[in-house]
Amino acid sequence: MECSADGPAFYSQPVVVGSDPSLSGRVQSGGNPRNSGLFDQEALLSPEPDSAAYNSPVARPHRTSQLSDAGSYGVTGLSNFGNTCFMNSVLQCIIGTAPLKRYFMRGEWKRKLLMHNEQRAEVVIEFAQLLELMWRGQYSYISPSRFRLAIGDCSEQFGGDDQEDAHEFASFLLDVLHESLNHVYPTPLPEREMTPDEEMQFEKLTDRKQASIQWKRYIRRSLSIITSIFQGQIQSRLTCTSCEHTSTTYHTFTELSVPIPEPRNSNGACGANVGKTGRSFLRKAKQNTDPMLPVNIYQCLDAYSEIEVLDGDDKWICPRCKTRRKATKQLKISRLPQVLIVHLKRFSTRGHFREKLETDVHVPTQRLYMENYVTPGAHPSTMYNLYAVVNHYGTMSGGHYTASVFDELREQWNYFDDTKVFPISETQVASPAAYLLFFVQERAKAK
């Protein structure tokens, strides 16, 4: 493969990964606190700005300096095929996840790859080849053309020419990797549901015991490298306000989608984006010139886990009262993942109108504390450090995605805009454009 250090690398021919060339073509294509020890190095990039991106009021990071070497180890850009910045930014963050990178670079995926779904298996093979090329450090940027073709064969949504949602693509890609690398195959039949008597006994157990039982039920059917790194567990508890009977369920998650509260000014008033209508309200909003107080990530997590009251038509049929009762519902994390992905819900629909929230959410790059959002005994380590961010500039109908990733080897943050890669300061990382946040658990520093 001939390519200058400054030119793109195309891998139109199969690339042999690791020491097992038999995998190449197995599926027909076309079908300080920072020194956690987890990250050897990461870097990302993103695409040329899409036309609508320049309508964004959010300022984009400025170049602070040029990377000293065009083809640096772990710092490789990706070509944009028109509207594939959503794919590029997500790839940079996921490929920049050190434990996943090590898993693929060591070739461990070859022993686990399931071939029963050839289209999904092809995505995994192309992902592995792309990851190795990006971490070789030979090219300043490469063209992920084969990976994109594999994605298109697997999903019509992400194989077209339209701009897609980065959050949806991240969920899709992690799901494909999870299913294709599942240790448990063939998948056993689902376990039977608990009887009412068993549910009553289950509710008497501690939160920790309940969570452990349900997690073991889950991994008996579904266990992969994605489970080990990205998946956690949510507890959902309903409580009858009349008799205090509870009903507790558990489900796994790969990312937390959290709402963004309305910013308030120093007088306690919300911004104009509170769902009210009418010209009088708009006039008052314009007259209010007090600066808005910033929203922080903890307020988003508070909103996610706040107690919801079920009343009126939403009343719960309490098994003990045997009638519809007012109840409360609350979500808590019962198992924290090694890597926590937080999705800031910036896109919303109000009636016939769709809008994007440009609220500046303050996010700590170090020491995100999660102890207020977990069940008792959920995990001994609840502290996280930020290592990657997917940014979105522009509107819902058009815009541009970029990524920021911490490079532990060089101890700096890098900004990835498709083929362009350059360092940025830590203060530029969590901007009003932040959309997906990738945190690594502090306990992982010993790994």
Rounded Cα gap, residues 107 and 229, in angstroms: 17
Let me know the angle formed at the C-alpha of 386 by 382 and 392, rounded to the nearest 5 degrees: 130
Q: Is the pLDDT of residue 26 over 70?
A: no
Exactly one of 178, 343, 379, 400 is catalytic; name it. Answer: 400
Amino acid sitting at position 367: R
Query: Residue 400 domain-assigned?
Result: yes
Rounded Cα gap, residues 411 and 45, in angstroms: 17
Token code pair at residue 363: 């996010």
Exactly one of 3, 85, 240, 270 is catalytic; name it. Answer: 85
Mean pLDDT over 58-87 rounds to 71
Mean pLDDT over 25-31 rounds to 36
Question: What pLDDT was estimated at residue 130?
Answer: 96
Q: Is the pLDDT of residue 84 over 50?
A: yes
Question: What pLDDT was estimated at residue 126?
Answer: 98
Question: What pLDDT was estimated at residue 267?
Answer: 56
Query: Residue 109 domain-assigned?
Result: yes
Rounded Cα gap, residues 403 and 393, in angstroms: 11
Question: What pLDDT was estimated at residue 270?
Answer: 54
Question: What pLDDT was estimated at residue 65?
Answer: 39
Question: What pLDDT was estimated at residue 396?
Answer: 76
Question: What pLDDT was estimated at residue 227?
Answer: 98
Query: Residue 183 domain-assigned?
Result: yes
pLDDT above 90 covers a percentage of the chain that reads 61
Mean pLDDT over 426-438 rounds to 93
Q: Is the pLDDT of residue 9 over 80?
A: no
Which comes out higher in pLDDT, residue 292 or 43?
292
Query: Residue 255 domain-assigned?
Result: no
pLDDT band at 291 (very low <50, low <70, confident <90, very high): low
User: Kind and range of the H or E element at 129?
Assistant: helix 118-136
Q: What is the DSSP string of 324-358?
A: EE-EEEEEEEEE--SEEEEEE--EEEETTEEEE--
Mean pLDDT over 119-130 rounds to 97
Query: Residue 34 domain-assigned?
Result: yes
Residues 250 and 210: beta-carbon distance below 8 Å: yes
What's the pLDDT tens digit per position in 256-287?
A: 999 999 887 655 555 544 333 333 333 443 44
Residue 121 is part of which domain span?
8-190+335-446
Of the chain, the end-to-end C-alpha distance in Å amounts to: 35
Mean pLDDT over 32-40 rounds to 37
Q: Is the pLDDT of residue 392 over 80?
A: yes
Query: Residue 83 domain-assigned?
Result: yes
Mean pLDDT over 295-303 rounds to 97
- Residue 89 to residues 6, 335, 381, 437, Cα–Cα distance (Å): 20, 27, 29, 12
Query: Residue 222 domain-assigned?
Result: no
Query: Residue 129 domain-assigned?
Result: yes
Rounded Cα gap, residues 396 and 393, in angstroms: 9
User: Of 425, 265, 436, 255, nearest to 336 (Cα)?
Assistant: 255
pTM of the model: 0.81
Question: What pLDDT was estimated at residue 288?
Answer: 43
pLDDT band at 31 (very low <50, low <70, confident <90, very high): very low
> Checking DSSP bridges between strand 316-318 and strand 323-325, what pairing results, if any?
antiparallel
What's the pLDDT tens digit per position in 201-212?
A: 999 999 999 999
Active site residue 400: yes
Task: Please report, for the domain that includes residue 396, its CATH number.
Answer: 3.90.70.10
pLDDT above 70 covers a percentage of the chain that reads 76
- Residue 378 to residues 35, 211, 334, 355, Cα–Cα distance (Å): 25, 8, 5, 36
Which comes out higher in pLDDT, residue 75 or 253?
253
User: Kind and range of the H or E element at 77?
Assistant: strand 77-78
Rounded Cα gap, residues 28 and 118, in angstroms: 8
Question: What pLDDT was estimated at residue 269?
Answer: 54
Question: What pLDDT was estimated at residue 156?
Answer: 87
Domains identified in the chain, total number: 1
Residues 269 and 335: beta-carbon distance below 8 Å: no
- Give 263's contacts (C-beta < 8 A, 6+ positions apart): 270, 271, 292, 293, 294, 295, 359
DSSP letter for 116, please.
Answer: S
Residue with tokens 């996921």: 94
